[in-house]
Structure 1
Amino acid sequence: MSQHTAETQENDKKYEVPIDVQRILETNYEIPTFSDDEAGDEADDLTLDVVQKPVIAPRPESAQTVLSDTLVNNATIEDYLKNTLSQLNLVKTLNQFQSEYLEMSRNQSGQRKLQQMNQSNSQLLAENMQLKFQVDQLTLQNEKIVNAAVKAKEQFMKLRQQRDFHRTKHRQVVQEKQVLVNDLRRLREHCQLYQPLIMELNTRYDKLLRQKQLTDIARDKAQNELKKIQMNQPVAEQQEAPKQTTKPKAIQQIAPTSHFKNSYVNPFTGDCELINQTIKYQISGATVKAHDAAISSIAFHRSLQVCTTASADGSFKVFTNFNAPSPNQLMVRGQPHSSYVTGAKFNTNNNFQSILASCAGDGTVKLFNISNQTEVCALKTLPSVQAWGLDWHCEGRVLAVANSDKSVRLYDLNMNQVLQEFDQGEDSQPQSFSSLRGATRAVTNVQFQPYGNLLQVSGADGITRVYDPRANTVISQIKLNNACKACFDISGQYIAAGDLDGNLIMQDMRTSKALFKLQVDTGINCLSFGNKQNGLLIGTKKGMFCSVDGILKQILRTESFQCESCDYNTVSGGFAVGTSDGQMVFLI
């Protein structure tokens, strides 16, 4: 009876349960079921494939393992329960457990109940661990599914944005296409409105052309009839001429033009010190960075130790010569043009040796006084016609300018009058007195014969023509394959011409026969004779060559720059070469 009463009291006792454990026990976990007919987004169907990995189930042995009575360690279980209740801060439950544990340990029945409780606790712990493992596995699987869903959502958003962007672009293209179609239709309708007018103009043109042909035929008939009448008309009797009592005046001859003289004395045709010098065609160590762009023209002064350069950067500069006492010193810099400068040369007259003429791609030709750094005047040129080069006559009065309209214009510049008008403040624009034509393409290079009246003209048509400007006639031609440039030697007796295909021809001006022909493996950009007719400097796209007595020799081979212009110093000897990177290279 007492035993039954004790059991009843034990059943009526209430123990404390942790909040987390109580929440887990009260929660009803339900796995939602999804039907196969569930629809996704109505606008866009996106299928998400989630790879499900199998959950590792615990071994069945661990779930069915029951500890035997001999293996149960009551002290260990008691310590574990006490530590657990103490960590969970269940003070009342801990006290109640200790009191009951002491009572049960006093009697045999209590020990048996204690063993049963320990056995049930072991089973609960094993089951609890199994459930915890399953919860962890489900949590990991849930996290993976959530991550995959987030990534799929981001991908879906990107695809939808791209779709919207391309849809907008497609609409714009369709609208633009429709606008173009409408414009094309309007243009066709507009053209159809002008069709009657065009047909009427064509009819009028044909009618006028027929009238012109009939007029020409009638004119030819009238001229033939007039000739027949003149031939059939009898010759009138000659009347006796009256006797002259005074002596008739001498027949007046046509006065020669004032622009050129009949003959000049060339100081380089005889035996002079400059001609007897020997050029080794060796590159001097000193180079000058003259411009930021290609040097399109370089020219030495006729009597002073200075040279001028013109560049595509829109400026010209005056330097002292490389062999002067103070070499390569910048003296003057000018930028009178609005475009790239194609040529600049000093006046060859000693009285006006400070006058410099320059031309540019904007078609302007100007005179500049380097002594006081002032612009003297601008020559009258045609609009939208580029000037590619210029040269002074040996007297320093006539200036020849090569133009892109297939012509060479000659200007008569009386420098005394020009300077006087400049001093008086008059804005004078000298006009050309003659034009040399005959080229089929743009003229890019001109040069007067040293101490002579002939003028060589070369350009893009591949033909070098030698003109006599006094009669405006061509006296000699050198035909090449491509755009070419030419130059006279200092004696004026020989001329050399080379083109962009590497062909070189030297000709005797007295006989108009070719002395020799050479072939260079690259395009020729510039030529210049030395102190002798058999010494020729050749500037190409890939270096420099020289020709001595018809033998070709390579001086420099390079890919870093091209030779754009060159000139020979008649004062002290030596060559100067202008390159495509704005440097001046000197040869001695």
Structure 2
Amino acid sequence: MAATIETDKFYVEKEEITLDSDDEFVYEEVPVEDDSVPPELEEDLDAAVRTIREANEDANARVSRELLTKPAVIQKPEVVDDFVRNFLIRMGLNRTLDCFQTEWYELQERGLLGYTDIGTVPDVYTRNQELEDEIDFLKKETVKFRNAALKAKETYVKLRKERDFHRMHHKRIVQEKNKLIDDIKRLKRHYSQYAPNMEALRSRYEAAMKEKMLANLERDRAVSQVNGLQSTIKGMEGLSGIAPQPPSSEEKPPKGPSHRQLLLERQRKAQDVDGDVKNLPENFKRFPNDSEFPVDTGVNPYLNQVKAPPGHVTRTGGFRLSNTFIAHSHPISGVALHPRKQILATCSDDHTWKMWAVPSGDIIMTGEGHSDWVSDCDFHPAGSSLATTSGDSTVKIWDFSKAACVHTFTDHTAAVWSCSWHTCGDFLATSSMDNTAKVWDLNSLRCRYTLRGHADSVNTIEFLPFSNTLLSSSADKTMSLWDARTGLCAQTFYGHLHSVNHASFNLRGDTIASCDSYGVVKLWDVRSVAPMASFEVGPHPANRLAFDPSGGVLAIASNDSIIKMYEIASGMVQALVGHEDAVQCLCFDRSGEFMVSGGSDSTVRIWS
């Protein structure tokens, strides 16, 4: 062991060096025997040689193994004092080392230390502790891995079951898919056989409905002629003093003169009256076929036929959706009801107009001829023809008896928005994007007047029933009243802050309703030219409005796909929800029993 320990550290170990020497080996002399081999051993000579060779190989292998495994220096366990010294030196506890050596040698000299105290350090305890710790750790790891394996096994079983279920479900879906594909192919083959028959039946049905409508029109025309002849006969009998004979039991009494005959009677009675019609300008040119405007009498015969609904408050919410059918392939821009029959006309952005039976929704006739969207349509007061306006700047007149367009007016220079028939049926008013409105004469087939005065597009125009007064609404935020006999503006209404989309009279003609592009609706008194009420249904634009025949309810078509029903007396607003897109147009039937609306969802909806 080192005598002094200052900076260098020494480890004291006992090492034993073994010397491999042959000096102490005692050799034994082997005597030489006779080389003769007994005869009985000659046969086993080869086996003996083989055994000796194997023994030598085993010995050589044992020696080589001992040489490889036996080290030249054998390390023996440390004794207690060397173990302690090495520990103190390793940790740098020099003063503790001095104290330990002093006390150790003192106790050793006195004989107070036993063999167990100065013997070797029992490393097996430390090794056992390490092994026990490792065993505990491995046990914990074993439990952990066992739990993970069980969990993985459960997951595997679950995934296998799910795989089997999905595989079975996939097989079933594939079978159903194949079955559906077979059914579809079979149905396609079946449908391909019936498609020509369906087309033939459809064309025959449309032709039959057209013939039925034409027959009804011819019947109405014949009845009107018979009524006129009977009235003429009665007049002649009255002049000649001959008492009229009562009709026979086989003959039905006439239904009375038509509105056309009533107008002619009023014209004959007013021939001696000096009206505004005679006060024409000196440079007014008459054409041979020009029609005469009827005299305004201020009488609307339909007012006597209108019965107010029993409860106005409940009437606004009394309409319910009763029927819906897809009328066109594009948005519907206008609807109109036949004056005497349950027939509806619709026009659309798909360049066509159609006629339908209501409320069943069976198609009667389809008209094609416009080269652009059809904006509006209106039935002739007699119900024998239809007027349509279009974005191609034309106005077309369609005769139902001929099932074709009989005339086209082309004087407008921009898209035509709306049209309205005079009650006499000889005049048609239209409004256009060219900032003008025109009055057309259906007898001379020319434009009688061009109404100029609006500074922007004229969106709508409407005749007051049984009157020569026109109402126009414009994008210049104003409305105007016009005299159709002179083409002059009689009054202008100001108050809207945005483009006026539509304006309409009530049946009495004393109130005007208007709506603009911000959803503001106003009611106007025609006599005082002042607003009566104003309310908002926005912020979506209000596209169109219509009074019910009683004049107590106002229906408003809004761009938010909702129809607002406004009760004029109470100011209450109810909503009719049904359209899936903007509501573009609506109208009431003459009795007020139902309402028809059309929208951008290409559907017609009937509310009753």
The total of aligned residue pairs comes to 340
Alpha-carbon spacing, 1:372–1:535, altered in 2? closer, same or farther (3 Å): same
For residues 405 and 508 of structure 1, what CA distance do their matches in structure 2 show?
29
For residues 361 and 578 of structure 2, what CA distance do their matches in structure 1 show?
24
Alpha-carbon spacing, 1:572–1:520, altered in 2? closer, same or farther (3 Å): closer
For residues 408 and 303 of structure 1, what CA distance do their matches in structure 2 show?
28
How far off its partner does 1:355 sit?
A: 1.0
| Selected match of 2:548 from 527, 530, 535 | 530
Tell me if 1:364 matches 2:394.
yes
| Selected match of 1:263 from 296, 301, 325 | 296
In structure 2, the partner of 1:116 is 60
| Selected match of 1:293 from 318, 330, 336 | 330
In structure 1, the partner of 2:519 is 502
In structure 2, give the amino acid aligned to 1:317: K
For residues 450 and 101 of structure 1, what CA distance do their matches in structure 2 show?
145
For residues 310 and 343 of structure 2, what CA distance do their matches in structure 1 show?
20
In structure 2, give the amino acid aligned to 1:393: H
For residues 57 and 340 of structure 2, what CA distance do their matches in structure 1 show?
135
For residues 253 and 377 of structure 1, what CA distance do their matches in structure 2 show?
30
In structure 2, the partner of 1:483 is 499
In structure 1, the partner of 2:599 is 579
For residues 583 and 559 of structure 1, what CA distance do their matches in structure 2 show?
8
For residues 398 and 532 of structure 2, what CA distance do their matches in structure 1 show?
40
Partner secondary structure for residue 476 of structure 1? strand
Whether the 8 Å contact between 1:302 and 1:571 is mirrored in structure 2 is no
For residues 539 and 354 of structure 1, what CA distance do their matches in structure 2 show?
28
| Selected match of 1:400 from 405, 425, 429 | 429
How far off its partner does 1:446 sit?
A: 1.1
In structure 2, give the amino acid aligned to 1:116: N
In structure 2, the partner of 1:310 is 347
For residues 339 and 522 of structure 2, what CA distance do their matches in structure 1 show?
27
How far off its partner does 1:388 sit?
A: 1.3
For residues 373 and 63 of structure 2, what CA distance do their matches in structure 1 show?
107
Alpha-carbon spacing, 1:270–1:432, altered in 2? closer, same or farther (3 Å): closer
| Selected match of 2:385 from 355, 358, 376 | 355
For residues 537 and 46 of structure 2, what CA distance do their matches in structure 1 show?
118
Alpha-carbon spacing, 1:528–1:122, altered in 2? closer, same or farther (3 Å): farther
How far off its partner does 1:477 sit?
A: 1.2
For residues 492 and 535 of structure 2, what CA distance do their matches in structure 1 show?
20
Whether the 8 Å contact between 2:326 and 2:604 is mirrored in structure 1 is yes
In structure 2, the partner of 1:560 is 580
| Selected match of 2:480 from 465, 469, 477 | 465
**1:294-341 Cα deviation digits (max 9, x unpaired):** 21111112222212111112211111232xxxx332111112212111
| Selected match of 1:334 from 347, 354, 367 | 367
**1:432-472 Cα deviation digits (max 9, x unpaired):** 23211222222221111111111111132222222223332
In structure 1, the partner of 2:451 is 436
How far off its partner does 1:267 sit?
A: 3.1
Whether the 8 Å contact between 1:380 and 1:431 is mirrored in structure 2 is no
In structure 1, the partner of 2:565 is 546
Whether the 8 Å contact between 2:480 and 2:489 is mirrored in structure 1 is no
Partner secondary structure for residue 572 of structure 2? strand
Alpha-carbon spacing, 1:540–1:463, altered in 2? closer, same or farther (3 Å): same
**1:196-250 Cα deviation digits (max 9, x unpaired):** xxxxxxxxxxxxxxxxxxxxxxxxxxxxxxxxxxxxxxxxxxxxxxxxxxxxxxx
In structure 1, the partner of 2:305 is 272
Alpha-carbon spacing, 1:559–1:374, altered in 2? closer, same or farther (3 Å): closer
In structure 1, give the amino acid aligned to 2:480: R
In structure 1, give the amino acid aligned to 2:60: Q
In structure 2, give the amino acid aligned to 1:480: H
Whether the 8 Å contact between 1:483 and 1:500 is mirrored in structure 2 is yes
How far off its partner does 1:291 sit?
A: 1.9
In structure 2, the partner of 1:381 is 411
How far off its partner does 1:489 sit?
A: 0.9
**1:528-565 Cα deviation digits (max 9, x unpaired):** 01112232111212312222234132132468322210
Q: CA RMSD in A?
A: 3.2
For residues 484 and 45 of structure 2, what CA distance do their matches in structure 1 show?
140
Whether the 8 Å contact between 2:417 and 2:459 is mirrored in structure 1 is yes
Alpha-carbon spacing, 1:106–1:254, altered in 2? closer, same or farther (3 Å): closer
In structure 2, give the amino acid aligned to 1:263: D
Partner secondary structure for residue 105 of structure 1? helix
How far off its partner does 1:377 sit?
A: 1.7
For residues 392 and 337 of structure 1, what CA distance do their matches in structure 2 show?
20
How far off its partner does 1:573 sit?
A: 3.8
Whether the 8 Å contact between 2:579 and 2:599 is mirrored in structure 1 is no
In structure 1, give the amino acid aligned to 2:392: D
Alpha-carbon spacing, 1:505–1:330, altered in 2? closer, same or farther (3 Å): same
Tell me if 1:570 matches 2:582.
no
In structure 2, the partner of 1:141 is none
Partner secondary structure for residue 341 of structure 2? coil
For residues 395 and 455 of structure 2, what CA distance do their matches in structure 1 show?
23
In structure 2, give the amino acid aligned to 1:493: D
Whether the 8 Å contact between 1:306 and 1:321 is mirrored in structure 2 is yes
The structure having more radius of gyration, on CA atoms, is 2
Whether the 8 Å contact between 1:390 and 1:445 is mirrored in structure 2 is yes
How far off its partner does 1:102 sit?
A: 5.3
Gaps of 5+ in 2: 1-43, 69-276, 285-290
In structure 2, the partner of 1:520 is 537
Partner secondary structure for residue 381 of structure 1? coil
**1:471-501 Cα deviation digits (max 9, x unpaired):** 3224131431222211111122211111122
| Selected match of 1:105 from 50, 55, 59 | 50
For residues 518 and 416 of structure 2, what CA distance do their matches in structure 1 show?
24
For residues 67 and 427 of structure 2, what CA distance do their matches in structure 1 show?
125
In structure 1, give the amino acid aligned to 2:423: C
Partner secondary structure for residue 111 of structure 1? helix
For residues 563 and 317 of structure 1, what CA distance do their matches in structure 2 show?
18
In structure 2, the partner of 1:452 is 467
Partner secondary structure for residue 322 of structure 2? strand
How far off its partner does 1:519 sit?
A: 2.1
Whether the 8 Å contact between 1:283 and 1:585 is mirrored in structure 2 is no
Using structure 1 for the length normalisation, give the TM-score.
0.53
Whether the 8 Å contact between 2:566 and 2:573 is mirrored in structure 1 is yes
**1:3-49 Cα deviation digits (max 9, x unpaired):** xxxxxxxxxxxxxxxxxxxxxxxxxxxxxxxxxxxxxxxxxxxxxxx
How far off its partner does 1:566 sit?
A: 0.9
Whether the 8 Å contact between 2:549 and 2:592 is mirrored in structure 1 is no
Partner secondary structure for residue 482 of structure 1? coil
For residues 488 and 465 of structure 1, what CA distance do their matches in structure 2 show?
12
Alpha-carbon spacing, 1:547–1:410, altered in 2? closer, same or farther (3 Å): same
In structure 2, give the amino acid aligned to 1:282: F
For residues 506 and 492 of structure 2, what CA distance do their matches in structure 1 show?
16
Partner secondary structure for residue 56 of structure 2? helix
For residues 45 and 390 of structure 2, what CA distance do their matches in structure 1 show?
118
Greater shift, 255-264 or 527-536, is seen at 255-264
In structure 2, the partner of 1:422 is none
In structure 2, give the amino acid aligned to 1:531: P
Alpha-carbon spacing, 1:490–1:106, altered in 2? closer, same or farther (3 Å): same
Using structure 2 for the length normalisation, give the TM-score.
0.51
Tell me if 1:282 matches 2:319.
yes
In structure 2, give the amino acid aligned to 1:481: L
Partner secondary structure for residue 106 of structure 1? helix
Q: 1:108-187 residue pairs with structure 2 within 5 A?
A: 111-116=55-60
Partner secondary structure for residue 60 of structure 2? helix
Q: 1:4-83 residue pairs with structure 2 within 5 A?
A: none
Alpha-carbon spacing, 1:122–1:413, altered in 2? closer, same or farther (3 Å): farther
